[in-house]
Amino acid sequence: MGRSVNKVQIIGTLGRDPEMKYLPSGSAVVTVSVATDESYNDKNSGQKVEKTEWHRLTAFGKLAEIIGQYLKKGSKAYFEGKLRTNEYEKDGIKRYSTEIVVNDMMMLDGRPDAGASQGFANTAPMANNPSAAMGQQQGGFAPQQQAQQPAQGGFAPQQQAQRPVQQPAQGGFAPQGQPQQQAQRPVQQPAQQGGFAPQQQGQQPAQQQGGFAPQGQPAQQPQAAPQPANNFDSFDDDIPF
């Protein structure tokens, strides 16, 4: 006998809530009725005719529990399984019924827990797994922490305003934040390199070469002692020639 295939795929809507039962072994069994619609054009009237077909589906085990938990009347889902024919007797007459044994299912309602398949980890809703939601925060930004730390290589105007530079400026220019300290301690500040010191020269004059204060030397220098004047009183008034 050649290779045979018994496979059914259905996308439909549940006509009623799933019917859940349990076998003596404790395994779950669920039965659902799924409706599929098809339409065609009537040749006589030319109008579109819609036809509904009802299918009986049965699932077992873990998949049965998922269907009973997440599906309800009006839910739309995809089912995949195989056909099975059951034989039973009623009123002394043998009867037959055909059903679909489901081995895979996928919800199509767009709910967060829509995907449900036997053997997969997405059988439980995300609401029962808070760690999955927490894991989405990794790799993102933390603006609050970055706001507290100054950016590397940038400027910090507020911190510079609170702690002005206390070192003397080089090149004859005083940056912002130094005038207050220089005004309070004019004597302790050394002379600016390459610049003038008019205030210090006014208090204690010093000999300067070319009007500039030499580098590395304070502006205050002791005044040179005056040279004694030549005493011409020791000579006679008359010149001897």
What's the pLDDT at 122?
A: 38
Residue pLDDT, tens place only, 49-90: 999 999 999 999 999 999 999 999 999 999 999 999 998 888
What's the pLDDT at 134?
A: 41
Higher pLDDT, 3 or 83: 83
Which residue is listed with tokens 């030549």?
230
Q: What is the third-level CATH fold of 8-42+49-118?
A: OB fold (Dihydrolipoamide Acetyltransferase, E2P) (2.40.50)
Those residues whose C-beta lies under 8 Å from the C-beta of residue 120, and which sit 6 or more positions away, are none
Q: What DSSP character marks residue 68?
A: H
Q: Which two tokens stand for residue 222?
A: 């002791």
Confidence of residue 110 (pLDDT cuts 50, 70, 90): low
Those residues whose C-beta lies under 8 Å from the C-beta of residue 73, and which sit 6 or more positions away, are 14, 15, 16, 17
Q: Where are the domains of the chain?
A: 8-42+49-118
Give the separation between CA 64 and CA 29, rounded to whole angstroms.
Answer: 6
State the first-to-last Cα distance of the chain, in angstroms, to the nearest integer.
Answer: 164
Give the separation between CA 33 and CA 116, rounded to whole angstroms.
Answer: 18
Give the separation between CA 67 and CA 29, rounded to whole angstroms.
Answer: 10
Higher pLDDT, 20 or 152: 20
